[in-house]
Structure 1
Amino acid sequence: MKRMIVSAVLIAALVVGVKAQEIKWGVKAGLNLTTAGKDLKDVMKDGDFDQKTKVGFHIGAFLDWGLTENFYIQPGLYYANKGVKFENKEDDSYKTKVNLSYLELPILASYRFSLSDNIKWHVNAGPYLAYGIGGKFKYEGEEGDEKEDAFGTGEDEAGLKRFDFGLSFGTGVSFNAIYVGVKYDLGLTNIADKDSWDDTKIKNRNFAVSVGYTF
């Protein structure tokens, strides 16, 4: 009987705690400005190619889980378009464009400072996991264009790994249910297959601007 009473008290406390927490969901979309890290930049520079920022986008949904009045956990699921571009220094008709598509799962800790009754400043940080669902290397030149799949190590595949992991840092402001913010994604995983790229490291780098709405 004593165990039953203790269990009932614990369950009741858990239910009350869950009810006290604020759980909402929202949507978010925005612009990605991506590169592939300094190591690949240096390798391509030695081959007379300059690395350029590629413009992409992201779109998805998230949960906004308030643990306290100011501290939130925010997991999400997004489609994210990343990659990089290279142009020949001597002849800009020779270009390489890398287009990478990911399903991305960030899990962010978010602390919010109240600036007024309806305005909050957000500071966000946490890890993300990503899986490549598609991508292409496109080579442009005077003799025509060529393409190959970005992920995989087979014939006509560019030798990139699908799995990516990194850290995300961001800040923004919410006006009632509307959020506007920026973030930087620091890829920690070398997505270049060693047999295909030797010692060259390729790591995703992304600066993003987002607009969101919480329901």
Structure 2
Amino acid sequence: MKTTFKTCLVAIALLIGVNTYAQDQPVTFGVKAGVNLSNVGGDASGTDAKIGFNAGVTLDYGFTPDVYLLTGLQLTTKGFKVKVLSEKLTSNLMYLQLPVHVGYKLTVAEATKIVFHAGPYAAYGIGGKTEGEKSFQDGAYKKFDFGVGLGVGAEFGKIGVDLGYDFGLANINDTDVDGKLKNMNAYLTLGYKF
């Protein structure tokens, strides 16, 4: 946990440093937060979506005036609900996630852009519980997750809104029961660029 925390601090410092020392470069630093609606796919059946949250820092690097690399570091919750016998169980999984998307920003009016983006993500489980039991420490779920995401958003000057979906490709199930489980997550965020 200490190593993960130190890694996050270094990543945030690098993001701030890149923005500070690259004022003439096409780099934009920002923050964002929002809500998630997550579930699992794969061999899972009878699961329901659960509501969670996401928050993080963003970094946009412009290759051209319209094409960007969109990345950052996010704290995001995923998971699902399932009914076992007569009891409803909720699995709350918390990840540090690093998306690496390529985005196209289409200018539609002065200081207004529509943003289309897609690309891979990698995530590392840092915590969470399933009805009182620790999710990653008890061997129920694998810590590493990866997949692909896509989204569409709008930028109004320094304020941005984004709607997207992440498709997990990794099997996060660390038990011999239930087969393959893959994260699925829809999100809506509100952000600000400095």
Q: Secondary structure at the match of 2:44?
A: helix
Q: Report how far residue 104 of structure 1 moved.
A: 0.5
CA deviation profile, 1:15-39 (whole Å, cap 9, x unmatched) = xxx8764111000110000001141
From 28, 33, 42, the counterpart of 2:32: 28
What's 1:192 paired with?
173
What's 1:73 paired with?
69
CA deviation profile, 1:37-77 (whole Å, cap 9, x unmatched) = 14112xxxxxxxx3111100000001111111100111110
From 77, 99, 104, the counterpart of 2:97: 104
The question of 1:61 aligning with 2:57 is answered yes
Q: TM-score, normalised by structure 2?
A: 0.84
Matched residues, number: 173
Task: Report percent identity of matched pairs.
Answer: 41
Aligned-CA RMSD value: 1.7
The answer to whether the 8 Å contact 2:44/2:178 transfers is: no
Query: Aligned partner of 1:40: which letter?
Result: A
Alignment of 1:1-215 (within 5 A): 21-41=25-45, 50-87=46-83, 91=86, 94-138=87-131, 147-152=132-137, 157-193=138-174, 196-198=175-177, 200-215=179-194
Q: TM-score, normalised by structure 1?
A: 0.76
Distance 1:81 1:159 in 2: 16
Q: Report how far residue 199 of structure 1 moved.
A: 6.5
Distance 1:86 1:159 in 2: 15
What's 1:4 paired with?
none
The answer to whether the 8 Å contact 2:59/2:70 transfers is: yes
Gap runs ≥5 in structure 2: 1-21
Query: Aligned partner of 1:85: which letter?
Result: K
Task: Work out which of the two has the higher radius of gyration on C-alpha atoms and give 1 or 2.
Answer: 1
Query: Aligned partner of 1:205: which letter?
Result: M
Q: Report how far residue 135 of structure 1 moved.
A: 1.6
What's 1:9 paired with?
none
Q: Report how far residue 130 of structure 1 moved.
A: 0.3
Distance 2:168 2:189 in 1: 19
The answer to whether the 8 Å contact 1:106/1:126 transfers is: yes
Distance 2:105 2:191 in 1: 16
